[in-house]
Amino acid sequence: MSARAKLFSVGRRRVDTFTLANGLEVVVLPSSRAPIVTQLVVYKVGSADEVPGKTGIAHFLEHMMFKGTDTVGPSEFSRIVSKNGGRDNAYTTYDSTGYYQTVSPDRLELVMRIEADRMANLRLNEKEMTPERQVVLEERRMRIDNSPSALLDEVVQERLFGHDQPYGMPISGYVADVDRLTLADLMDFYRLHYMPNNAILIVGGDTSTEQVRGLAEKFYGPIPARPVAPRRRPDHGAADLPQTVTRADPRAVEPRWSRHWLAPSFNKGETQYAYPLQVLAQLLGGTETSRLWRALVVDGKHALSVWAGYRPNSLGLSSFEVGVHPAVSVKMADVESAVSAELARLIDGGVSADEVERAQNQLLAAAIYSQDSLQSGPRIFGGALSTGSTVADIAAWPERISAVRSDEIVAAARYVWQPSRLVTSLLTPQSGSR
């Protein structure tokens, strides 16, 4: 029996797609497993589409999208969803902004109507904007400023991708920029990016394609298309790599050593390495059976935990990350030496077929589980389709992961793990420790 025959089989889920006359892409993921339905509208715009001096505008606008239209009063959007037994929320990433509601199937028409309304008819005023600015800044204080690791990660992003570059600016924005944003700035950003031909409507759950088509044409269909601004992402990172950044912070609960390398994505750079890099991240640091875990936690006793990560769904370049929480009294230099030795061992000695198969099966199992989730399913489609992938690419992902070979993984590692592509970061509880 071949290694390929031992891999999990991921059945193709039913996916129906169509595009309205105004350019709105619609994806339907029918599932009758539970009597609920999720609507997700994803706009192809995120913080990486901002310009220097106006950072944080995509996230600020996400908040202001809940402030009303001519027919829905300020802050009434979420109240309407809640009164009808549903829940809603929104998110902003570097490359996209999404708004979603989960309701019973008989309330799908309601949430489509009010979501389409704010796509076309958002109304903003200073009275709503002033307190919401403080909400946005407080969210940043809670999630970023109060987290030593999050503050360090922002510096890593800036050093890796470059100052004032799309992925080098924080999603939440710089405080001084958010303080300066005006009502006109928000409305200009809204008019420039919020339109049906720059959006994807994804509906998953207990519904039919025919019903979704009828409702989409009724509520979204009348919204006119407008010219879409080009999206630009550089094909290179910062010019002054490698770099090392350190943060000594008494609030840090435990020290951390990590290293980020510039890496290709599905859309930018040496894209042939995207699938091998996903398998590489899994076998290197994805679980407690991974190479780094065995070498640094189990055998070497250098670490309490380790991880590796890579996300290929990026409109521009991405990054490959390795991180370690050192064991008590272990020096950062010893951690770095141990990690470097493992990376060199992989490049020089290769990876076995069994290792590759185990990592592939872990990734494929996660894909199987995600098909049962009304949250992760639409989010997977939204993240992929907003950054240049197609429905066919999503459907073919299990086969492409299954086809990755050991030599391709080593070639990807050799390409990415170069000094000219990396930023090393160290988080310590206080100055001079370890």
Instruction: Say if residues 56 and 127 touch (Cβ distance below 8 Å).
Output: no
Is 99 in contact with 106 (CB distance < 8 Å)?
no
Are 28 and 209 in contact by the 8 Å Cβ rule? The answer is yes
Assign 66 to helix, strand or coil.
coil
Give whole-number Cα distances, 243 to 147, 161, 246, 393, 426, in Å. Answer: 22, 12, 10, 35, 11
Q: How far apart are CA 428 and CA 252, in angstroms?
A: 7
Q: At 416, list the tokens.
A: 């990415």
At 261, the amino acid letter reads W
What are residue 245's DSSP bridge partners? 425
Structure tokens at 311: 């996300």
Residue located via tokens 């310009």 = 51
Which ranges of 40-125 would DSSP assign to H, the alpha helix?
57-64, 76-83, 108-121
Give residues with Cβ within 8 angstroms of 337, minimum separation 6.
none
DSSP structural state of residue 255: -
Q: Which residue has the tokens 């993921």?
A: 29
Question: Considering 25, 50, 62, 355, which one is annotated as catalytic?
Answer: 62
336 belongs to the catalytic site:
no
> Could you give the residue numbers annotated as active site?
62
